[in-house]
Amino acid sequence: MTALLPDFYARDVLDVARELIGCCVEFNGAAGIIVETEAYHEREPACHAYIGLTPRTRTLFGPPGRAYVYRSYGIHALLNAVCEPTGVGAAVLIRALEPEVGLEAMRERRWRSRGMPKRRPSDSELCSGPGKLTEALGIGLELNGTDLSAGAVRILSMAERRPSSILSGPRVGITKAVNLPWRFWIGDNPYVSRPRTATAAIVPSSS
């Protein structure tokens, strides 16, 4: 269980999105296994980097292996891993985690969140969405640009726990480039954000 290094991220964002499934996100004593991701790339209009280099997209065009954290709908912080070489705007959105460590702290943060769920969130409600997992872990905008290899938020490879099969399909919640099958998730995993029809199944090679 070691932190993924920048070279891992400095590749095709689709490969990174697939391979991040099964890895572990850790922050502030809490951790979870990535069960759902989405890829974004500057050449397609759903990506923030599509419009080019602006103050907002600065992190996306920066070095690979950094966290791109931005505010969504004025409310939620969404966590991405910057990919591809410096100068290329691309990132993987972390959309859901299977909670592993610090469940009670996650529950506490989700319990007293804005929007305040009426009942205590169950385990499968803690991190089953991109806004939920940042809230559960306590990840905020101040972590934008930080190093995912050696910073406060880390992503660790989990060699002993590679998923057997991964499904792919269209990304969630976007209005542009809606047909690209750039969402990846573990089929039948109860911690995925929303059940959806897959358009393809990926069986990882044994290598």
Partner DNA sequence: CATGGGATTGACT
Partner DNA sequence: GTCAATCCCATGC
Taking the complex as a whole, how short is the minimal distance between the CB of residue 16 and DNA, in angstroms?
13
Interface residues with DNA (CB under 7 A)?
38, 40, 46-49, 51, 54-57, 60, 68, 70-76, 78, 80, 91, 93, 110, 113-118, 121, 125, 129-132, 141, 171-175, 193
CB of 84 to DNA, least distance (A): 13
Q: How far is the CB of 159 from DNA (least distance, A)?
A: 26
**Minimum CB–partner distance for residue 136 and DNA (Å):** 9
Looking at the Cβ atoms of 74 and 206, the one nearer to DNA is: 74
Spatial CA neighbour of 32 closest among 156, 171, 121, 162: 156
Which C-beta is closer to DNA: that of 29 or that of 45?
A: 45
Residue 156 host element (H or E): strand 154-156
The β-bridge relationship of strands 154-156 and 24-27 is: antiparallel
- Between CA 181 and CA 7, with CA 199 as vertex, the angle to 5 degrees is 40
Residue 159's contacts (CB-CB under 8 Å, 6 or more residues apart) are 1
Q: CB-wise, 115 or 188, nearer to DNA?
A: 115
Is the Cβ of residue 126 or residue 204 nearer to DNA in the bound state? 126
CB of 13 to DNA, least distance (A): 10
The pairing of beta strand 200-202 with beta strand 24-27? unpaired
- The torsion of the CA quartet 198, 99, 145, 114, rounded to 10 degrees, works out to 100
Q: Please say which residue, 3 or 93, places its beta carbon nearer to DNA.
A: 93
